[in-house]
Amino acid sequence: MMYKPCAGPARLRVARLIAVAVVVALSTAFFASPAMADPPAKGEGTMTMQTVLTDICPFTFVVDSTIQYSELKFFDRSGSLIRIYQHTVEQDVFKANDKTLTSVPYTFNIEFLFDSSGNLIHMWFAGAGVKIPLPDGTQFVSAGRFDILTHPEGFVLSPDKGNPGNVAALCAALS
pLDDT digit string (tens) for 14-30?
344 444 444 444 343 44
pLDDT computed for residue 111 by the predictor: 93
- The pLDDT tens digits of the residues spanning 151-175 come to 766 677 777 788 888 999 999 999 9
pLDDT above 60 (res 6): no
d(CA 27, CA 21): 10
d(CA 175, CA 169): 10
Q: What is the pLDDT of residues 102-132, one digit of tens each?
A: 999 988 889 999 998 889 998 888 877 789 9
Supply the pLDDT for residue 36. 53
Note the pLDDT tens digit of each residue in 17-75: 444 444 444 343 444 444 456 789 999 999 999 999 898 999 999 999 999 999 999 99
In the predicted structure, residue 99 carries a pLDDT above the cut 80: yes
